[in-house]
Amino acid sequence: MMSGAKIWARTVVATAFVVVTVIEPVFAAPLAPLGAPMKLTASHTNRLSLEKSPYLLQHQHNPVDWQPWGEEAFARARQEKKPILLSIGYSTCHWCHVMERESFEDEVLAKFLNTHFVSIKVDREERPDVDKIYMTAAQAMGQQGGWPLNVFLTPDLKPFYAGTYFPPEPRYGHPSFLQLLQQLAQVWEHRRAEVEESANGIHQQLADMMIPRSTNQSALDPKLLRNAAAAFKSEYDKQNGGFGGSPKFPRPSQPAFLLQYGNQQKDNDAIKMVLHTCEAMANGGMNDQLGGGFARYSVDAKWLVPHFEKMLYDNAQLIHLYLDAGLINGATNHFDTARAILGYVLRDMTHSSGGFFSAEDADSEGKEGKFYCWTQSELASFLKKDELNVAVKYFGITAEGNFLDHSDPQPLPNQNVLSIVQPNLNDEERALLTSAKAKIFAQRTRRIRPHLDDKILASWNGLMLGAMARASAVLGNDDYLKAAEKNLRFIKKELWDKTRRTLYHRWRDGERDSVQLLDGYANYLAGVLELYQITLEPDHLQFAIDLAEAMMERFYDKEHGGFWQSAGGDPELILRIKEDYDGAEPSGNSVATLAILKLAAITDRADLQRAGEKSIQLFAERLERTPQAVPYLLSALAFAVEPPRRVVIASPTKAGTKSLLRAVHQTFQPHKVVLGTTGPVDPFAKTLKPREKRPTAYVCTGTVCQPPISEEAELKNLLR
């Protein structure tokens, strides 16, 4: 999951082995009989009831005496000299729900936990900084990674044992979760000094290895881009599209980089790989064929069967990818996919005041995918015969189904995930399909929806803000621009402290948190920059500058380059990390680096340019050895290795500006920035004037500009 963990594991596991050898012999001893698990029978309310996180609130009635992450829980562990169970997950996590039902609602297990441990719950989406530290530790101990993440800590927060999902009964030679807890409690009681010594060693080695250090190697080298593209292309799945095998994550920053590279280098193979991938994903079951929006990943290599949860961050990035794909080949189906995602977000994922919600669950009524799947007989009950025949043909529906429900005790039989199997329909069939889809969607609205995680995160809102703004220009739809502007007003009102120039991370139910994270600043900065380049409103550019300066002050490492994931001086964190992995979400370092490089090109800020280049230099070894880990940072590198095109729009009227802006954004040219002639822009841009009182575009590299242009078609041709 997090690239680099296997490298760390080679060194760290040598220290972690002390803990393994301490614990495993105890498992060999006879285990106390447990009897049948006692499930929740009485009413409980724990400390999580006072929290705002939907994930923490899901656990507020567990008999486990859960505490939120914070000094109160840490002080209790120190005072009572107990180890800590740190359990990390998120509200739409399927296996988190499973482990809650099986273990954390069990009275016997809860009683043991409450007696021998201090139990802490963390929402990884609210605290990715906490999650990153302990996920890395778990992987260094040889665990695969994933959620729920359960890590055992000393009272000073140092990890000594970790795992993900633990079963309620012994399986495949492994103990049950309660048996594991019993043995860990024994080890803590009788061999604590060895455990603490091992935890100290693990912590020290993690501290040594998790901070990248500058090398003399130059990172501003186009050769790194070529090598990275070759590595990505070698992983291409010719049959199914995508890169690698199952499970398949969209990971949009990877195909986005490859598409940019292919366009710039005239590498048609790279372009074809990405376009095939986009088409395969859009046709697959991972794409909600009725309501729009993509699930988090496909469990198979064919994009057919999804893990049904929908995340805001995936869909924001996929909007950009499908806009790129549509611009590169003019295919309307890619634009239609983007429109469907945008429609889903505006319909189901937007707060009335403008913030974007975080996620929707995979489960409804306790079963994964129940909201999305259909049996053939169910469809036959409300579709006309000819509508059903077309739907069966188009979606590949069978009586047996294509999705196996694994839920207990009564799995749902014959379920079909809808995917596009036969897209070639005649006009009559297409009309019938439109009617059938409308009826199926209407029937679905009567079902119980999956749980909505309605917290609003600055980081993910920044991703969607940028996508909405850009889509408004590419697709020519002002509704998307209105949504972007409304989101900006919401975030500035609820999460931005203008006086302190502080961006907080989470808002929910009328309350914001007190957490500041690089991801929030970087992603929202990137989103505001997209919005500025669509509107050329000076106030938006000024806000981008305010965000960038605040981000530089709190997170930038002036000595070595790069950005810390969290602000300095946080006593709750045992490590301060520079995230360097662009996974399902791009890292704060990658987003911050590209954003300040773009802002530097718009404002002529040499200090931001130097900081961006120094940050790329910090990760030179990463870019060379494992470019697959940092595709978004590769886009930043591509932007840095040569001066970008700067499109300056000088216009006496806003209407004229809008016309030329759409021409700019409806051309695939990622190596550019767009700016106006007013506000805190580069002083050179202010010297450029409209020609003959007409809206005028200047395409410049540095201070050298092409002849002024007032015709949209001519501007598009020049940018191509």
Kindly state whether residues 199 and 255 are assigned to the same domain.
Answer: no
Average pLDDT (656-672) is 92
> The domain containing residue 407 runs over which residues?
237-453
List, in sequence order, every residue forming a beta bridge with 66; answer none if it has no partner.
none
Q: How many domains does the chain have?
A: 3
Please state, in angstroms and as integers, the Cα–Cα distance from residue 317 to each residue in 262, 561, 593, following that order.
19, 26, 17
Kindly state whether residues 174 and 250 are assigned to the same domain.
Answer: no
Q: DSSP assignment, residue 409? A: S
Which CATH number do you get for residue 697? 3.40.30.10
Kindly state whether residues 372 and 291 are assigned to the same domain.
Answer: yes
**Under 8 Å CB-to-CB from 403, ≥6 apart: which residues?**
285, 305, 369, 373, 415, 416, 417
436 within a domain of the structure (yes/no): yes
Kindly state whether residues 257 and 399 are assigned to the same domain.
Answer: yes
Kindly state whether residues 202 and 92 are assigned to the same domain.
Answer: yes
Kindly state whether residues 292 and 156 are assigned to the same domain.
Answer: no
585 within a domain of the structure (yes/no): no
Give the domain-ending residue among 192, 209, 226: 209
Lowest mean pLDDT among 279-288, 496-505, 527-536, 562-571: 562-571
**Type and span of the H or E element at 19:** helix 5-28
Q: How many CB atoms lie within 10 A of CB 414?
A: 19
- Residue holding tokens 């990674």? 145
Q: Which amino acid is at 229?
A: A
Average pLDDT (570-585) is 91
> Could you report the per-residue pLDDT of 318-374, keeping only the tens digit for each?
999 999 999 999 989 999 999 999 999 999 999 999 999 999 999 998 899 999 999
Structure tokens at 462: 């920044």
What is the reported pTM?
Answer: 0.92
Kindly state whether residues 253 and 164 are assigned to the same domain.
Answer: no
670 within a domain of the structure (yes/no): yes
66 within a domain of the structure (yes/no): yes
Kindly state whether residues 131 and 27 are assigned to the same domain.
Answer: yes
Percent of the chain residues topping a pLDDT of 70: 93
What pLDDT score was predicted for residue 321? Answer: 98
602 within a domain of the structure (yes/no): no
166 within a domain of the structure (yes/no): yes
> Could you report the per-residue pLDDT of 95-118, keeping only the tens digit for each?
999 999 999 999 999 999 999 999
Q: How confident is the model at residue 33 (pLDDT cuts 50, 70, 90)?
A: very low
Contact 390, 432 (CB under 8 A): yes
Average pLDDT (494-507) is 97
Kindly state whether residues 150 and 289 are assigned to the same domain.
Answer: no
Give the domain-ending residue among 453, 477, 499: 453
| Torsional sign, CA 26, 28, 33, 39 | positive
Give the domain-ending residue among 209, 228, 249: 209
314 within a domain of the structure (yes/no): yes
Average pLDDT (661-683) is 96
Contact 284, 247 (CB under 8 A): no
What pLDDT score was predicted for residue 410? Answer: 84
Kindly state whether residues 155 and 271 are assigned to the same domain.
Answer: no
**Type and span of the H or E element at 511:** strand 511-512
Contact 614, 620 (CB under 8 A): no
What one-character-per-residue DSSP string does 138-196 give?
HHHTT----SSEEEEE-TTS-EEEEES---SS-BTTB--HHHHHHHHHHHHHHSHHHHH
Tell me how far apart the alpha carbons of residues 242 and 246 are, in angstroms, rounded to a whole number: 10
Q: How many CB atoms lie within 10 A of CB 554?
A: 19
> Could you report the per-residue pLDDT of 591-609, keeping only the tens digit for each?
999 999 999 999 999 999 9
Contact 248, 268 (CB under 8 A): no
Tell me: cis bond preceding 683? Omega within 30 of 0 counts.
no
What pLDDT score was predicted for residue 568? Answer: 81
607 within a domain of the structure (yes/no): no
Kindly state whether residues 168 and 299 are assigned to the same domain.
Answer: no
Kindly state whether residues 243 and 389 are assigned to the same domain.
Answer: yes
Q: How confident is the model at residue 21 (pLDDT cuts 50, 70, 90)?
A: very low
